[in-house]
């Protein structure tokens, strides 16, 4: 059944000009809050997904106990389907969870319901923000598990993943910008802020935003019990578009690429170790390793094809994201 977005107003910033914000980013408004298909207003889960997706167990929950601010947060949890043993990834999205078949590899999220083409779900959004920020907690169901939040600014319909399959067309032409956050590969037991810049691919004005969150970055995971809590999602605008790092981030580390080598230099050096993960523009991880905060680090990326890549550095009370180009 098509969900109706009842929260139609957008939040005004303190600037003179109104700027588009995420609707219900604090997850305070809920549809059917005590039912098995409870979902935040403006967001959806597998319980209101395509006909096959709805067969799965509830994976999206209103949490009134683990809260960053206000009364509720959203919790998504990977759950085992009784009898058959398949694990359904915890999910919440502004789009539709589509399961064309019972094969998990065929699943995708879109603005269109696979089993009902007239069911279109798109959150209006016309801004060009600098970054998306929010607060999260995470519990691993297994040692390799990590959660994910990804946002796409787009026009028309959009599909995640965007590449064409036998079940949907290629939507890459509709993408304007993307922002990707992955939790550390560990438990995060206290509310922690994340801030991820949008990477823009052209100068168009978006019409919509798609936000997808899951308790397991691995679509094919067979591990149950991973839990991701989210609260207070919002976007941040800077005076100019593009990637803008805060003063504290700039003071902590410099990241640049030259001659097939990525350099990471910590300006405030100590004896800690930090993780750096590198992704291509589709969100696929291409490198992950530990680096030392006490020296200039180098990573050989001669195996990567030319183009733009995204990086995420995670340390104790420190996180930095950005992009670089391999020539």
- Pick 30-236's CATH classification: 2.60.120.890, 3.20.20.120, 2.60.40.10, 1.10.230.10: 2.60.120.890
pLDDT tens-digit map of 44-71? 999 999 999 999 999 999 999 999 999 9
Query: Which positions ≥6 away from 259 have C-beta within 8 Å?
Result: none
Distance of CA 215 to the CA centre of its chain: 10
Residues of the chain within CATH 2.60.120.890 domain(s) are 30-236
Summarised one tens digit per residue, pLDDT across range 95-151 is: 999 999 989 899 999 999 998 889 999 999 999 999 999 999 999 999 999 999 999
CATH number belonging to domain 247-326: 2.60.40.3080
pLDDT averaged over every residue in the chain: 85
Task: Please tell me whether the overall predicted TM-score, pTM, comes out greater than 0.85 for this model.
Answer: no
Which residues of the chain form CATH 2.60.40.3080? 247-326
Whether the ω angle into residue 4 lies within 30 degrees of 0, i.e. cis, is: no
């Amino acid at each position: 059944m098509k969900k109706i977005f009842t929260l139609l107003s957008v939040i005004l910033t303190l600037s003179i000009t109104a700027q588009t914000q995420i609707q219900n980013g604090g997850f305070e408004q809920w549809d059917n809050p005590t039912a098995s298909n409870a979902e935040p207003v403006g967001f959806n889960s597998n319980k209101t997904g395509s006909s096959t997706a709805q067969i799965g167990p509830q994976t999206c929950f209103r949490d009134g106990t683990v809260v960053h601010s206000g009364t509720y947060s959203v919790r998504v949890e990977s759950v085992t389907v009784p009898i058959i043993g398949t694990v359904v990834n915890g999910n919440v999205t502004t789009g539709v969870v589509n399961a064309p078949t019972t094969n998990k590899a065929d699943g995708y999220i879109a603005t269109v319901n696979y089993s009902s083409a007239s069911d279109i779900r798109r959150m209006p959004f016309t801004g060009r923000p600098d970054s998306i920020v929010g607060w999260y907690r995470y519990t691993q169901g297994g040692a390799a598990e990590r959660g994910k939040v990804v946002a796409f600014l787009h026009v028309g319909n959009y599909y995640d993943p965007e590449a064409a399959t036998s079940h949907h067309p290629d939507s890459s032409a509709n993408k304007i910008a993307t922002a990707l956050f992955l939790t550390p590969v560990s438990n995060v037991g206290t509310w922690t802020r994340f801030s991820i810049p949008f990477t823009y691919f052209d100068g168009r004005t978006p019409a919509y935003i798609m936000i997808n969150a899951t308790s397991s970055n691995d679509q094919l995971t067979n591990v149950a019990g991973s839990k991701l809590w989210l609260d207070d999602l919002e976007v941040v605008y800077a005076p100019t578009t593009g990637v803008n790092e805060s003063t504290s981030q700039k003071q902590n580390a410099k990241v640049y690429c030259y001659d097939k080598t990525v350099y990471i230099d910590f300006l405030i050096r100590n004896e800690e170790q930090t993780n750096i993960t590198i992704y291509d523009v589709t969100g696929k991880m291409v490198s992950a390793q530990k680096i030392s905060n006490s020296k200039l680090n180098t990573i050989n990326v001669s195996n990567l094809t030319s183009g733009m890549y995204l990086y995420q550095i995670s340390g104790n009370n420190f996180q930095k994201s950005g992009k670089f180009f391999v020539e």
